[in-house]
């Protein structure tokens, strides 16, 4: 909450200044049309604070809710339910029910002051929305660092739909691991999860998943608990943007957990059945032919094996089926 406070204060001041300017321009007459693109932190905060007696506020977004992203990782393992971290945008009230558009903004005509939209519900439906003021708060796409294969074979953890798919896959793996006819190697493959990216999202997901193993898996899947492995791959230090003491504490805590380990490496490519990574240092990681599932900055990948070797004098890790 403290991290969001500067943004909230800025939005409040900006909204007040915008309202004052609009009142001067209109002389208190017809309301100006304010179009907001996005229902994330910026767009949602502005929508809440802007004076709707002065503006007709139009919100355009492919997402009909505000998502409290710091708690998103908790929903992947059921610590929180999805509905607990979202707020439907219509709950905050519009002057007119037609002022919210469940659509994507795909073009902008600044001369005509129009936004070109395509409906999220029907891609054949496109239209233009005029504006007097336009606020673009659409955020950004997840950064895959141009690693080949990430978009095709992995899931991001940025939206509720991503968390739901990860939760379903985790439960599917555990259920499949208990079924007759599953070999020991196959069971290890199903229950080995890897987090690539040691930032706040990766570390938080790892902590949530570890708590899930201790609190839920022991009760629901006692025979599988000791088979589960979580590997965190990070090219630099975990939580590199945070204080040095906090980084060191986090690493010590992870290393103490027998079912978790940290590997310092760069992931260079991802395919359906294997991942390639270049080690930055020699690490006692694992033997060859260990199967795993992969999550890339908490993203999910299908099964693969790991073999360790060298290429051009550098340690490499290749996962093959």
Angle at 250 between CA 284 and CA 5, to 5 degrees: 145
How far apart CA 301 and CA 276 sit, in angstroms, is 13
pLDDT for the residue 233? 86
Q: In the structure encoding, which two tokens stand for residue 297, read together?
A: 């900055």
Question: What pTM value is reported for the model?
Answer: 0.76
pLDDT for the residue 17? 54
In angstroms, the first-to-last Cα distance of the chain is 44
pLDDT for the residue 14? 55
How far apart CA 216 and CA 8 sit, in angstroms, is 37
pLDDT for the residue 152? 85
How far apart CA 11 and CA 51 sit, in angstroms, is 12
pLDDT for the residue 98? 95
Tokens 């890897």 — which residue?
194
pLDDT in tens, the chain (321 residues): 344 444 444 555 555 555 555 443 444 468 999 999 999 999 999 999 999 999 999 999 999 999 999 999 999 999 999 999 999 999 988 999 999 999 999 999 999 999 999 999 999 999 999 999 999 999 888 888 898 888 887 878 999 999 999 999 899 989 999 999 999 988 888 898 878 889 999 999 999 999 998 889 889 999 898 899 898 888 888 999 899 999 999 999 998 998 898 888 888 887 765 667 776 533 333 322 333 444 433 333 333 333 333 344 444 444 433
DSSP codes of every residue in 124-162: T-EEEEE-SEEEE--------TT-TTHHHH---SSSHHH
Q: In the structure encoding, which two tokens stand for residue 70, read together?
A: 């710091």
Structural contact between residues 135 and 57, judged by C-beta atoms closer than 8 angstroms: no
Angle at 161 between CA 155 and CA 164, to 5 degrees: 85
Q: In the structure encoding, which two tokens stand for residue 295, read together?
A: 């999550």
Structural contact between residues 136 and 37, judged by C-beta atoms closer than 8 angstroms: yes
pLDDT for the residue 85? 97
H or E stretch covering 293: strand 290-295
């Amino acid at each position: 909450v403290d991290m969001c406070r500067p943004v909230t204060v800025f939005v409040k001041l900006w909204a007040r200044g915008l309202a004052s300017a609009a009142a001067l321009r209109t002389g208190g007459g017809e309301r100006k049309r304010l179009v907001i693109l996005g229902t994330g932190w910026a767009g949602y905060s502005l929508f809440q604070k802007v004076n709707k007696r002065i503006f007709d506020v139009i919100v355009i977004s492919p997402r009909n809710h505000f998502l409290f992203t710091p708690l998103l990782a908790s929903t992947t393992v059921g610590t929180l339910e999805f509905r607990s971290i979202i707020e439907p945008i219509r709950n905050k009230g519009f002057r007119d029910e037609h002022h919210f558009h469940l659509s994507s903004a795909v073009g902008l005509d600044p001369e005509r002051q129009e936004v070109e939209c395509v409906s999220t519900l029907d891609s054949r439906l496109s239209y233009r929305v005029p504006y007097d003021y336009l606020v673009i708060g659409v955020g950004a796409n997840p950064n895959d660092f141009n690693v080949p294969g990430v978009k095709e074979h992995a899931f991001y953890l940025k939206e509720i739909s991503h968390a739901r798919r990860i939760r379903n896959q985790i439960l599917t793996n555990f259920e499949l691991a208990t079924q007759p006819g599953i070999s020991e190697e196959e069971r290890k493959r199903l229950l080995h999860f890897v987090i690539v990216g040691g930032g706040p999202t990766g570390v938080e997901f790892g902590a949530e998943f570890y708590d899930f193993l201790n609190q839920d898996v022991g009760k629901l899947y006692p025979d599988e608990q000791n088979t589960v492995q979580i590997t965190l791959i990070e090219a630099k230090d975990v939580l590199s943007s945070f204080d040095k003491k906090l980084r060191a504490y986090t690493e010590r805590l992870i290393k103490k957990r027998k079912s978790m380990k940290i590997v310092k490496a760069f992931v260079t490519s991802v395919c359906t059945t294997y991942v390639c990574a270049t080690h930055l240092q020699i690490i006692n990681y694992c033997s060859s032919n260990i199967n795993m599932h992969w999550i890339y900055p908490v993203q999910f990948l299908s099964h693969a094996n790991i073999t360790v070797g060298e290429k051009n004098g550098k340690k490499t890790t290749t996962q093959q089926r």
